[in-house]
Chain A
Amino acid sequence: EPEVTQTPSHQVTQMGQEVILRCVPISNHLYFYWYRQILGQKVEFLVSFYNNEISEKSEIFDDQFSVERPDGSNFTLKIRSTKLEDSAMYFCASKLTQNYGYTFGSGTRLTVV
């Protein structure tokens, strides 16, 4: 069964450093998303991406965050200058059409120290 692949599975970084989280969505999917889940809290929407541009972003997704789809297969989330409160599981998701269920990756656990 097709799956969304995320790397790395765990990343530890120092506060103030830049990190890039990588995702390979399912190949024929058109809509791409990043969500995050702080330990013990809800899964929260960060950003949606369609047709090579951001289609919606949450209040969390400030100027420190950016997304890219640099080629036909990868979808990345960059955090420019990490803060302690950015520590969370980050999930990439994709879907084929609007009226369709999402497929999530297994997540990247980001720990900022």
Chain B
Amino acid sequence: QKEVEQDPGPLSVPEGAIVSLNCTYSNSAFQYFMWYRQYSRKGPELLMYTYSSGNKEDGRFTAQVDKSSKYISLFIRDSQPSDSATYLCAMIYSGGYNKLIFGAGTRLAVHP
């Protein structure tokens, strides 16, 4: 079983739609959860960083963590063509020097 599972998509939605992106994980030692956005041939850009179970909101983005189900989500409201990118979930174990374990990434296309 992979440590972090993420559906690679692609996911295609019309402009203005609500997008839901998800990851599951197998190891309950993961304590910190992140979502990164990656444009083609660019480095990952941090969107959201969460620690505990629950919701965190930042503008059009909401990150949700359910540790009991080992499931995290990213919601994008009022999606725009500029949101078209690959979205990577990433996690860190507690302690240590905090290497990131990434999901495979979901490719999102928002069409006008």
Contacts and interface: CB of A to CB of B under 8 A. Distances in A.
Interface stretch (B10-18, B20-28, B91-99): B91-99
A99 B43 CA distance: 21
B65 interface: no
B78 interface: no
Contacts of B45: 104
Contact of A42 (B41, B51, B97, B102): B102
A43 B97 contact: no
Q: How large is the interface on B (under 10, 10 to 19, 20 to 34, 35 or more residues)?
A: 20 to 34
Interface residues of A, number: 30
A interface majority secondary structure: strand
B interface majority secondary structure: loop
A104 B41 CA distance: 13
Interface of B: 32, 34, 36, 41-46, 49, 51, 88, 90, 96-105
B43 A107 contact: yes
23 contacts: A31-B97, A33-B100, A35-B100, A43-B100, A43-B105, A44-B102, A45-B100, A56-B96, A56-B99, A58-B99, A99-B32, A99-B51, A100-B49, A101-B46, A102-B34, A102-B44, A102-B46, A103-B46, A104-B43, A104-B46, A106-B42, A107-B42, A109-B41
Given A4-B43, A99-B32, A107-B41, 15 more contacts: A6-B43, A31-B97, A31-B98, A33-B99, A35-B100, A42-B102, A43-B90, A43-B100, A48-B98, A55-B96, A56-B96, A93-B43, A100-B49, A104-B44, A106-B43
Q: Which 8 A-B pairs have the closest CB atoms?
A: A104-B43, A55-B97, A45-B99, A43-B102, A101-B46, A101-B49, A48-B97, A106-B43
Contacts of A43: 44, 88, 90, 100, 102, 105
A107 B98 CA distance: 20
